């Protein structure tokens, strides 16, 4: 079998990991360990991490960690001690949010675990280091009021293909609680007939695919968009497509999540909706909040959203906020 060099491994990951300009192919501490350590470093990202965003976040985390070690005279992987890891985590807690420090420690642990299993180091020096305490009972994602959500979907001109695509995408995230990544990854055939109604097939994190019955409003928006865009004859093509410049014509390329974010914020601004921090996830949270406020069960919302735990679903639910405010207003002086 031909030897796969570090450069070849890097080439296969260039599209999923942003290579820092002007930096070495791998951290100096890893390179000093030898060619086997450098190969294991890239094999960790290629073999154990399938999600593109996780790869990028973990790469940033371990690069910062190794830069911290280099500044303290650590030369190789075998010289890393739990004290080094603990000192780095302590520094992170002063410059980053607890959730970020916790995630970065998880990245360091995972990489060093990989090195232990591959026998590059005898033990994992990060295994005994405790993560900072981080308990979240309420999510920070902004949520639209029902009136604002209705105004957002109803404010768009529907005499253009883009004017039909945008509300269809936003309605999908609201009515099916879909992540934007799953929404923009849909194919035309993922809008599927189920008896007399329709459902949408979503591919969520970890390769999980599940179907969600389509709300009648969502059905209408999707069918109007597909008909206007002429997508019915291309079932294996992307459902939500990028636009060619300012022409208003759809391309064969999928709409990117970052472009969907720009679209959501622009459409909200045009509709006169001011919600600080509004993002794609706000539509998902709006759907969950509206559903639970109308008497929907948390367990059902969890199943629709594809969450592994109901505690995650609760982070998106803001149905209790208005109730709490009404109770506070009872205090009259």
- State pLDDT tens for residues 244-264: 888 889 999 999 999 999 999
Residue 12 has pLDDT above 60, yes or no: no
Tokens of 85: 């890891």
Q: Which DSSP category does 215 fall into? A: P
Segment 186-229, tens digit of pLDDT: 999 999 998 888 999 998 776 677 889 999 999 999 999 999 99
Dihedral of CA atoms 210, 178, 299, 52 in degrees, nearest 10, equals 80
CA 180 to CA 185: how far, in whole Å?
8
Question: How much of the chain, in percent, has pLDDT values that exceed 70?
Answer: 86
Least Cα distance to 173 among 316, 77, 72 occurs for 316
Tokens read off for 63: 């690069």
Domains parsed from the chain with CATH numbers: 6-117 (no CATH), 146-328 (1.10.443.10)
User: What average pLDDT score do residues 62-71 get?
Assistant: 94
Residue 15 has pLDDT above 50, yes or no: no
Q: Examine the pLDDT at 50 and tell me if it is beyond 50.
A: yes
> Quick check: 164 pLDDT over 70?
yes
pLDDT of residue 4: 47
- Our CA angle for 121, 123, 126, nearest 5°, is 110
Q: Residue 283: in which H helix or E strand, if any? A: helix 280-293
Give the rounded percent of residues in the chain with a pLDDT score beyond 90: 54
Tens digits of residue pLDDT in 123-142: 999 999 998 875 555 667 88
């Amino acid at each position: 079998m031909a030897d796969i060099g570090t450069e070849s491994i890097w080439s296969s990951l260039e599209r999923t990991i942003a290579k820092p300009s002007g930096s070495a192919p791998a951290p100096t501490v890893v390179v000093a360990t030898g060619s086997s350590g450098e190969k294991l470093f890239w094999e960790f990202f290629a073999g154990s991490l399938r999600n593109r965003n996780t790869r990028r976040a973990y790469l940033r985390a371990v690069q910062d960690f190794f830069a911290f070690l280099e500044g303290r005279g650590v030369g190789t992987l075998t010289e890393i001690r739990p004290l080094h890891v603990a000192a780095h985590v302590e520094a992170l807690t002063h410059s980053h949010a607890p959730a970020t420090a916790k995630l970065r420690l998880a990245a360091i642990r995972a990489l060093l675990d990989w090195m232990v299993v591959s026998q590059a180091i005898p033990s994992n020096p990060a295994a005994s280091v405790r993560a900072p305490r981080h308990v979240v009972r309420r999510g920070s994602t902004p949520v639209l009021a029902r009136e604002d959500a209705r105004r957002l979907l109803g404010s768009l001109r529907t005499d253009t293909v883009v004017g039909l695509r945008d509300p269809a995408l936003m309605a999908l995230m609201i009515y099916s609680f879909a992540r934007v990544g799953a929404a923009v990854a849909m194919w035309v055939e993922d809008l599927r007939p189920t008896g007399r109604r329709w459902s949408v097939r979503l591919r969520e994190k970890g390769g999980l695919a599940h179907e969600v019955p389509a709300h009648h409003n969502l059905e209408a928006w999707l069918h109007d968009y597909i008909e206007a865009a002429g997508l019915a004859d291309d079932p294996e093509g992307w459902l939500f497509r990028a636009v060619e410049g300012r022409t208003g014509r759809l391309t064969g390329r999928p709409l990117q999540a970052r472009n969907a974010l720009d679209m959501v914020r622009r459409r909200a601004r045009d509709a006169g909706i001011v919600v600080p921090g509004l993002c794609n996830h706000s539509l998902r949270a709006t759907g969950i909040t509206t559903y639970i406020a109308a008497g929907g069960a948390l367990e059902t919302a969890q199943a629709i959203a594809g969450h592994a735990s109901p505690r995650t679903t609760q982070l998106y639910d803001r149905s209790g906020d208005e109730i709490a405010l009404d109770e506070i207003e009872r205090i009259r002086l």
